[in-house]
Amino acid sequence: MERKWEAMEAIFKPKAVAVIGASDNPGKLGSHVMRSLIEGRYPGKIFPVNPGKEEILGIKAYPSLLQTPECVDLSIIVLPAESVPKTFQECREKGVKGIVLITAGFKEIEDKRGETLQQEITELANQFGMKVIGPNTFGVVNLHLPINASFTPEFSSVEKGEIAFVSQSGGMSHLMGFLSMTSQVGFSKIIGLGNRCNVDFDDMVEYLTDDPQTKVVALYMEGMDHPRRLMEVAERAKGKKPILSYKVGRSSTGDQASQFHTGSLAGKHEVYGGAFKQAGILMVQSSEELLDTSKALAISPLPEGSCVAVLSGQAGPGMAACDVCETEGLSIPPFSSKTQQKVETLLPPLAIRTNPIDMGPAWYDSEAIEGIVHSVLEDKKIDAVILCIMFASANRASVGILADLLLQSQEKKPVVCCLSAPRGIWDEEIKRLEASGIPNFPTPERAARVLANLVRYKKLRSEYNE
Amino acid sequence: MERKWEAMEAIFKPKAVAVIGASDNPGKLGSHVMRSLIEGRYPGKIFPVNPGKEEILGIKAYPSLLQTPECVDLSIIVLPAESVPKTFQECREKGVKGIVLITAGFKEIEDKRGETLQQEITELANQFGMKVIGPNTFGVVNLHLPINASFTPEFSSVEKGEIAFVSQSGGMSHLMGFLSMTSQVGFSKIIGLGNRCNVDFDDMVEYLTDDPQTKVVALYMEGMDHPRRLMEVAERAKGKKPILSYKVGRSSTGDQASQFHTGSLAGKHEVYGGAFKQAGILMVQSSEELLDTSKALAISPLPEGSCVAVLSGQAGPGMAACDVCETEGLSIPPFSSKTQQKVETLLPPLAIRTNPIDMGPAWYDSEAIEGIVHSVLEDKKIDAVILCIMFASANRASVGILADLLLQSQEKKPVVCCLSAPRGIWDEEIKRLEASGIPNFPTPERAARVLANLVRYKKLRSEYNE
């Protein structure tokens, strides 16, 4: 266990990294890996290894790993598949503990030799006490060190945050990274498991459960080799941090495709559904939902129940949110009579004053907004709030007022927002709210779906805490 | 009919506009309306009407509408509700044909007097041959003239395009406008119907069916007063241009809220569903889906059937697209043996070579990509293509190559994309593709859902062309 942790730490927090197969030819993955480390401002030592070069991208290169002058914790390997066993031997000699094996051509190819080769290197790695991310991976990124040990330098532009994304697909990791750049979402780590030769979902979830920089673990899965162990590890994480999973292969075609992709059968979707629920893993149905829900779980308190108040600046978006709430099993109950009376004294009879409230007529009256939001948050019949306001010149100030109010509130109920405006108008207010645990989403429907997932997660967890 | 068309043209293409209740006080809606016209570069004459002002925002003001020196086609009214009947009288005297009545306080309020007042002004408008957008509306925007006749100057930043958005909710119009700003979607017109005193969905769909600047009509609905007439009008539009509807009020709470919001019962969702289908109106389930599907319908050819090829640069996103396709009733069939043979000669046996194809191993080989895409597009078993590529430094050039290829293709099959990259990297290529009828979406799931909607729309239309 100690030794395993040490090897994982070597992958995510290395003091020195060797790039075996480093290159300065932009047509080679070895050059992209070098750029990722350099442009990503990795603070440790970088040792490019390439027998034909004295220097790569301004850094002294070495003809072999064994000739590098210092200890190396992590080797990133971008050599052809057949030379990997020999390289593993050298890594052992050098005392390397962590490997990121970008090289493809193992279990995922049609040729049986790929699988044999993968067995061979897995046995070597196990024997040498090395942990291997891959083969057939884009790499790993730890935004807190920072280290971008991948072939995509652009991952270094992803914001630092508290969500770890663990993926069986490099494509899905890139998608999530790029989506996050326009969604104010930050990641602690982005990890491409590839063919999972000796680091599978279970190992990674186990490691991340104890990782202080990770609050939420988001998984993208196609298939699994050790489902039972994953469930055990996930059950141990329950109450510590949320684990979500987006699993594809619901369709028969996707299921077949998975087999080829990373060499594992996706298996019956329903079977996974039941097992995940038991283990406290929250399942979601799309990449967007995975990102949205992870963002909320990283910052928001959890609701005590499923009773929601919908407060909107305009009725339409509030109604759209209500539709999703009801479809997803949330309830939009009447307020307590105390709250209802308060709302009626504050709002003129010009719009909806029951739940959902249309606060439109109150925009010019910050005291009224304050009063309404206060009473609704304090209402014991209400577990959570959805707040939807679409910008119009006349309500520009409203979100600032609401932000002040929400940030002062002592109530620890989740508030999920859809505050929508052209770029630049409410950016600061939204940033303030998100920094204090109140997430914002681009549409009322997405905000409502996220809240439904917070409720589902709370239930999953409570059932298992009993 | 002639007269009605004339009144609608006065609303969307006025040569001169009066703003009755114009103001330079930023706390008043009348000032926002003035800014919308001025900052939106309305090319006609603007006559601010306000008895207390000689000039408003640099434009000569008049004490009353009757004292304005020239013909006025459109009056935008932002006076208190009780003065509206008298203002309508003046509009008739002046020969005004179109009214945008922003003023609230009519059918939507709890006080019965609101409904009475709305009846009164509706009778006046009908008697005077005037068409009224509103009351209780944010206004209308025609991006082609351009005229921003709304209280939100920011609508002028929406891109000009070929989708008309007709909404019962100002909030939803603002949401769609703001979403469009980050989604490369353009609108021809954005119309807030408000309480629909004598311009309802049916009138608007009828007008837009003959509007040469509109290719797609997107509706956001809560309830309807003349459902039968809408269905008749929609049936007449079938084959001419697509009509989509996002209708809220699926939930009981939303349904109640609708009654208050614009004074009409939302009614049973299922009843609408059947009627819409009969009339050839495509129903969607969220604001995002409405925008995405409208964008595709505005530019893409329609598929002849529901057989889809999924081509992806990385297996994961392709599998996510497959899942949505199958859930939505699309089929992902095997290729013809000719296509399959071709693919196998072009792609090494390193990844999935059946449908869905993982083109990953071909990135360095533009001839291979060209060959695969060509054969798949020509395959008679395939009606449409979903193309998913996530950027990585190593495949930067691929989208340019694919764009050239797709734009040269003679096949008129729909191709729907998820090409995802950090901002700035593929923007030009995506713009070129979209300009030629190949839309791009942020996630593979959204791309697949849009394609499913194209198939559904094609079916709806075909059933009614028979």
Higher-confidence residue: A465 or B56?
A: B56
Lowest mean pLDDT among A161-165, B92-96, B247-251, B315-319: B247-251
Q: What residues does A107 pair with on adjacent strands?
A: none
Residue A196's region, left for phi above 0, alpha for psi from -120 to 50, else beta, is left
Beta strands B384-390 and B415-420 are parallel
* Model pLDDT, residue A398: 86
Of the candidates A167, A420, A423, the beta carbon closest to that of B175 is on: A420
Which chain A residues are closer than 8 Å to B448 by Cβ? none
A258 at B interface, C-beta within 8 A: yes
Mean pLDDT value of segment B306-310: 98
Separation of alpha carbons B174 and B152, rounded Å: 9
Higher-confidence residue: B100 or B109?
A: B100
Which chain B residues are closer than 8 Å to A261 by Cβ? 315-316, 319, 351-352, 358
B317 at A interface, C-beta within 8 A: yes
A328 at B interface, C-beta within 8 A: no
Which chain B residues are closer than 8 Å to A356 by Cβ? 253-254, 257
User: Contact B325/A251, CB-based, under 8 Å?
Assistant: yes
Structure tokens that stand for A305 in this block: 């129940």
* Model pLDDT, residue A254: 54
Mean pLDDT of chain B: 92
* Model pLDDT, residue B223: 81
Q: Which among A115, A117, A199, A189 is positioned nearest to A150, based on CA atoms?
A: A189
Nearest CA in chain B to A35: B393
List of residues 6+ apart from B344 with CB closer than 8 A: B353
Smallest Cα distance from A114 to chain B, Å: 10
User: Contact B174/A315, CB-based, under 8 Å?
Assistant: no
Separation of alpha carbons A374 and A358, rounded Å: 15
A326 at B interface, C-beta within 8 A: yes
Q: Which CATH number fits domain A158-299: 3.40.50.261, 3.40.50.300, 3.40.50.720, 1.10.10.410?
A: 3.40.50.261
Higher-confidence residue: A32 or B257?
A: A32
User: Contact A181/B423, CB-based, under 8 Å?
Assistant: yes
Cβ within 8 Å of A, B 112-131:
none
- Specify the fold of A1-136: Rossmann fold (3.40.50)
Of the candidates B110, B251, B262, the beta carbon closest to that of A349 is on: B110
The class (CATH top level) of B300-465 is alpha beta
Which chain B residues are closer than 8 Å to A170 by Cβ? 314, 316, 390, 392
Higher-confidence residue: A238 or B203?
A: B203
Instruction: Encode pLDDT of B395-409 as tens digits.
Output: 888 899 889 989 988
Q: Of all helices (H) and strands (E), which one includes residue A229?
A: helix A227-237
3-class secondary-structure state, position B415: strand
Q: What are phi and psi of A131, to 5 degrees?
A: -105, 135
Residue A134's Cβ-side half-sphere holds a number of Cα atoms within 13 Å equal to 27
Of the candidates A169, A315, A420, the beta carbon closest to that of B316 is on: A169
Alpha helices in A64-165 (DSSP H): 84-94, 112-128
Separation of alpha carbons B417 and A364, rounded Å: 44
3-class secondary-structure state, position B325: helix
3-class secondary-structure state, position A87: helix
Mean pLDDT value of segment A383-398: 92
Which chain A residues are closer than 8 Å to B394 by Cβ? 29, 32, 151
Instruction: Encode pLDDT of A108-126 as tens digits.
Output: 888 899 999 999 999 999 9
* Model pLDDT, residue A265: 46
- Please state the separation of Cα B379 from the chain's center in Å: 33
User: Contact A254/B322, CB-based, under 8 Å?
Assistant: yes
Q: Which among B305, B300, B299, B220 is positioned nearest to B266, based on CA atoms?
A: B220
Query: Per residue, what are the HEC states of A373-385?
Result: HHHHHHCCCCCEE
* Model pLDDT, residue B259: 54
* Model pLDDT, residue A466: 46
pTM for this entry: 0.95
Does position B413 have pLDDT exceeding 70, yes or no?
Answer: yes
B265 at A interface, C-beta within 8 A: no
B456 at A interface, C-beta within 8 A: no
Mean pLDDT value of segment B452-460: 96
For the domain spanning B1-135, the CATH number is 3.40.50.720
Instruction: Encode pLDDT of B216-260 as tens digits.
Output: 999 999 987 788 899 999 999 888 899 999 999 876 665 555 555
Which chain B residues are closer than 8 Å to A181 by Cβ? 422-423
Domain ranges of chain B: 1-135, 158-299, 300-465
User: Contact A167/B316, CB-based, under 8 Å?
Assistant: yes
Smallest Cα distance from B390 to chain A, Å: 6
Q: What is the DSSP letter of B79?
A: S
Q: Do domains B158-299 and B300-465 have the same CATH topology?
A: yes
List of residues 6+ apart from A117 with CB closer than 8 A: A81, A82, A84, A85, A105, A106
Q: What is the DSSP letter of B144?
A: T
Does position A259 have pLDDT exceeding 60, yes or no?
Answer: no
Q: How far apart are the first and last CA of chain A?
A: 29
Higher-confidence residue: B236 or A306?
A: A306
Q: Which among B163, B173, B280 is positioned nearest to B213, based on CA atoms?
A: B163
Q: What is the DSSP letter of A318?
A: H
Separation of alpha carbons A247 and A254, rounded Å: 11
Using a pLDDT cut of 90, give the percent of chain B over it: 79
Q: What are phi and psi of B76, to 5 degrees?
A: -100, 120
Which chain A residues are closer than 8 Å to B115 by Cβ? none
Separation of alpha carbons B333 and B356, rounded Å: 9
Of the candidates B169, B178, B446, the beta carbon closest to that of A316 is on: B169
Beta strands A139-142 and A147-150 are antiparallel
Q: Of all helices (H) and strands (E), which one includes residue A32?
A: helix A29-39
Residue in B286, B393, B426 to test binding to A, most A beta-carbons within 10 Å: B393
Instruction: Encode pLDDT of A209-235 as tens digits.
Output: 999 999 999 999 998 778 899 999 999
Instruction: Encode pLDDT of B30-45 as tens digits.
Output: 999 999 999 999 999 9
Q: Which of the residue ranges A367-381, A417-431, B397-411 has the most confident prediction, judged by mean pLDDT?
A: A417-431
- Is the peptide bond preceding residue B227 cis, with omega within 30 degrees of 0? no
* Model pLDDT, residue B119: 97
Q: Which residue type is seen at B437?
A: G
* Model pLDDT, residue B361: 78
Separation of alpha carbons A257 and A245, rounded Å: 19
Which chain A residues are closer than 8 Å to B358 by Cβ? 257, 260-261
Separation of alpha carbons B384 and B307, rounded Å: 7
Q: What is the DSSP letter of A361?
A: G
User: Contact A179/B442, CB-based, under 8 Å?
Assistant: yes
* Model pLDDT, residue A267: 57
Number of other residues whose CB lies within 10 A of the CB of residue A429: 21
Cβ within 8 Å of A, B 163-222:
167-172, 174-175, 178-179, 181-182, 220, 222
Smallest Cα distance from B64 to chain A, Å: 25
* Model pLDDT, residue B68: 98
Smallest Cα distance from A194 to chain B, Å: 11
Mean pLDDT of chain A: 92
Of the candidates A319, A358, A391, the beta carbon closest to that of B254 is on: A319
B152 at A interface, C-beta within 8 A: yes
Mean pLDDT value of segment A57-67: 98
The predicted complex's ipTM stands at 0.95
Separation of alpha carbons B431 and B439, rounded Å: 9
Of the candidates B181, B286, B352, the beta carbon closest to that of A422 is on: B181
Smallest Cα distance from B73 to chain A, Å: 26
User: Contact A287/B323, CB-based, under 8 Å?
Assistant: no
User: Contact A350/B287, CB-based, under 8 Å?
Assistant: no
Does position A198 have pLDDT exceeding 80, yes or no?
Answer: yes
